Structure 1
């Protein structure tokens, strides 16, 4: 995504019927850029924490005296926690605001991460990973929702796609770079296999505390505020987003009346969470839920089992981590590609093409990856399409719901993916035990085929405002021409 444009005066004299109209008139400001940066920071640490159990799996087995089934159960409890976090976080975000939910989830994540680092036994580890999962689940989807609501329509796909690049792309690559260093050269310094993983988990939890502090600078989503009838606060948020200074809170005199506050806005009623399972939202909920199941199930299966699969081929723990790191370079480019094409290529076309190519790359890995070079090449290609698909579905999901249930809808369809993340590794272990590495990747190829078909039933959203997509006029009456104000 391009960097922030130099500050330009916001179009204060324009008449805006809606938040979409106001945002579409903005350049990409530094304030918007910093909001995205803060959300990215939270997602980045989430990814590090999510990847850790797979990387330290052999060490956890040794330190806690557990087997493969118990190791997969640790992942399962994390994913189950993620389901809870997504649903609770989505509900809170639609009721109390995006900013509140993000701060709450990140704090829960940090507490769980520190508890994981000091877990004395397997049961405590399970509890701690469940808590981590709650924080992980809400953080990602609420971040997607917030970013989708604060940028212009033409930039929305790239902006939200950049979140996937920061988490799934850079995050995965950086995670395994960190794991290689801590569990490789620093392993003995940090106490060997029995202790180094604890230092790693502790390190992953502590930096997130800084993000909790920075979250106080996040402005609330103006769309959420308008939906709640808080037009003056929405104007304040828009004034901040139009500026170059995210830390400054404008006084009443400095707030630009992008939307008219003289008339009370229609407050959207609190609706039942089941609205996303009723017409006209049911079809899109089912379509993206199935796609998320297949995409996220495949991704988590590889996150959990890839180091173990490589060890089964005769590679050491350290070398398997290096292999995984190199392959995750493919995922970084896949997430970047998804963000770049989001502004030009229709969502359904993107998912169809990537699903087919992801299926072929999984088959190629299963059948042709027999030596180090082949493992790295085919593994990197597979990771490219894995993150390309996940990032595209992630930026698509918040576009499919109206503001009043956007966070919950996005969280729900992604939560279905979490359920797949909890269950599919067990299926992968069964496939691995009976058909080896080839069995695991052939299963993933079938999942990508189903993904490509299901995505055809969701509406196309490229180039359409969130309000237009959902046939919902979330507007305030137009403002009279306002005097120029300095919002920098």
Structure 2
């Protein structure tokens, strides 16, 4: 356990004191506990995001749905995810990060239960919208919480681990979950069990997270300096629950009067002269990467079954391709400490172009299908993980939650709408045309990521 420290006389602003305290504390068991509590939730969120793709072939059989109608289910989900992220951003900057986590999962659980009992397609679309509201808030809060609990040295890896759990393990194991559920339950309606069983882990996560604290950065930014100091002591001593051995003054409360009162987050500020370039560039980039990822997740099981595979075989092959997501998330988390954000993003975009064109025009055998599919997932998760890290580093605490949520919401909206286009292109022009279009998305993404300011190795921006 690191030894207690006293803040130096020249501590500066509260934001600078927090960053200095984080750097001296390093990593403790409390940090790992926080990461585990956050990642447990986003893992099951990722499984839920795959639910439409997993159940798509069965819905096609039992209800006679086409590619466009399956795409609409995803559109309902991710349009709601976008709305959920925007609402979460506004609420978390006013009431705190911790408050939203339990509420998000309860909304998600109720929506998933409604999916399981949906009597028709229209009700299922509405239920997916409700699920999306909960999903959107969960990821947005997770990104902000982990970015605010760690120093600049460890922040990249911590935030990157979100996508290891979500896009990596979640996306990879979701098809396996489908295989298991569809093996245990039989009949045309066995897709209902998949939706219904996802309620149980969501409720378990709500219970598991009850010792998760609020972030010191938010507490300090809203004038609750003593509470922020207590949380830092808990981090230092590795105790998220119970009585502290002692409480060290990590934050110089006397200097808090020199810190201006934190203004309420304003929608217009993220589009003002100081932040406009970063907001627009990252908004465009995330729209492109999410559109490519969600189109792939939604339609690949349908593409494989149309090539003559059984539903079980298609899900197994999807699992193999999703191994690229896990490797991509791990890679992004590890290189976040080594490479500038723009270098990583540019490399991911180039690989995405290669994967899209390769899958569309050169995947003539099952081996090449698996290779280019895995490479596609690898590249898109490199992009998404790094954008999740890059966005919070652009903004000060007072608008960090709102601005990051808006950027991620744009991606979710794009991910919700674009599968409709991709599904229509697939139905009318085939796999090659669809993946050529997805490769074009990576080109635009690679250009857009050149415009935000580089933040590699820098402390989080402070208010003021």
Q: TM-score, normalised by structure 1?
A: 0.91
Do structure 1's residue 266 and structure 2's residue 266 form an aligned pair?
Answer: no
CA distance in 2, matches of 1:283, 1:410: 14
Moved more, 7-16 or 423-432: 7-16
**In 1: Cα distance, 2:7 partner to 2:152 partner:** 20
Partner of residue 465, structure 1? 459
Matches within 5 A, 1:24-103: 24-103=23-102
Alpha-carbon RMSD: 1.6
Q: Which residue of 1 aligns with 2:416?
A: 422
TM-superposed deviation, 1:416: 0.8
Q: 1:276 aligns with which of 265, 270, 281?
A: 270
Partner of 1:295: 289
Following superposition, the deviation at residue 47 of structure 1 comes to 0.3
Secondary structure of the structure 1 residue equivalent to 2:309: coil
Greater CA drift, 68-77 or 344-353:
68-77
Extract unaligned runs of 5+ from structure 1: 1-6, 475-488
Aligned equivalents of 1:337, 1:38: Cα separation in 2: 22
> Are residues 290 and 226 of structure 1, via their aligned partners in 2, closer, same or farther at CA, if it must alter by over 3 Å?
same
Q: Which residue of 2 aligns with 1:152?
A: 151
Aligned to 1:255: 247
Distance in 2 (CA, whole Å) between partners of 1:49 and 1:425 is 17
Q: Confirm or deny that 1:201 pairs with 2:195.
A: yes
How far does the alpha carbon of each residue in 1:225-272 deviate from its partner, in whole angstroms, 9 at most, with x for none?
Answer: 11101100110111111122222254xx93321112245453201132
* SS in structure 1 of the partner of residue 317 of structure 2: helix
SS at the partner of 2:252? coil
Spell out the pairing of 1:307-326 with structure 2 (5 A cutoff): 307-326=301-320
SS in 1 for 2:302: helix
Correspondence list, 1:360-371, <5 A: 360-371=354-365
Distance in 1 of aligned mates of 2:43 and 2:81:
16
Name whichever of 455-464 and 64-73 sits farther off: 64-73
Please state whether the residue corresponding to 1:146 is helix, strand or coil.
Answer: helix
Name the CA distance, whole Å, in 2 between partners of 1:249 and 1:109: 34
Name the SS of the counterpart of 1:193 in structure 2: coil
Q: Which residue in the other structure is 1:140 paired with?
A: 139
* SS state at 2:450 partner: helix
How far residue 78 of structure 1 moved from its aligned partner, in angstroms, is 0.5
Are 2:139 and 1:115 equivalent residues in the alignment? no
Q: Is 2:7–2:252's contact at 8 Å kept on the other side of the alignment?
A: no
CA displacement at 1:93 relative to structure 2:
0.6
Contact 2:212–2:240 under 8 Å retained in 1? yes
* C-alpha deviation, 1:295, in angstroms: 0.3
Deviations, residues 184-209 of structure 1 (Å, cap 9, x unaligned): x32xxx23232x21111111121111
Paired residues for 1:346-385 under 5 Å: 346-385=340-379
Greater displacement, 50-59 / 425-434: 425-434
Q: CA offsets, 1:308-355, max 9 Å, x none?
A: 111122222111111100000111101110000000100011111111
In the alignment, which of 170, 176, 192 is matched to residue 187 of structure 2? Answer: 192
1:215 positional shift? 2.1
Cα distance in 1 between the residues matched to 2:213 and 2:198: 26
Look up the match of 1:396. 390
Q: 1:456 aligns with which of 442, 447, 450?
A: 450
What's the CA shift for 1:275?
1.3
Matched residue count: 457
Query: What secondary structure sits across from 2:457 in the alignment?
Result: coil
**Hey, what's the Cα distance between the residues in 2 that align with 1:170 and 1:68?**
26
Give the Å deviation of 1:13: 6.2
2:238 matched residue in structure 1: 244
Q: 2: CA distance between counterparts of 1:230 and 1:13? A: 17
Deviation at 1:63, TM superposition (A): 3.5
Q: For residue 390 of structure 1, report the CA deviation from its aligned partner.
A: 1.2
Kept in 1: contact 2:397–2:463 (CA 8 A)? no
Alpha-carbon distance between aligned partners in 2 of 1:133 and 1:434, rounded to the nearest angstrom: 28
SS in 1 for 2:337: coil
Query: 2:406 aligned to 405, 408, 412, which one?
Result: 412
Q: Give distance in 1, aligned partners of 2:67 and 2:361.
A: 25
Structure 1 position 154, deviation (Å): 0.7
Structure 2: any 5+ residue segments left out of the alignment?
Answer: none
**Does the residue aligned with 1:220 lie in a helix, a strand or coil?**
coil
Q: Distance in 2 between matches of 1:80 and 1:360?
A: 29
Contact 1:240 1:249 in 2 (8 A): no
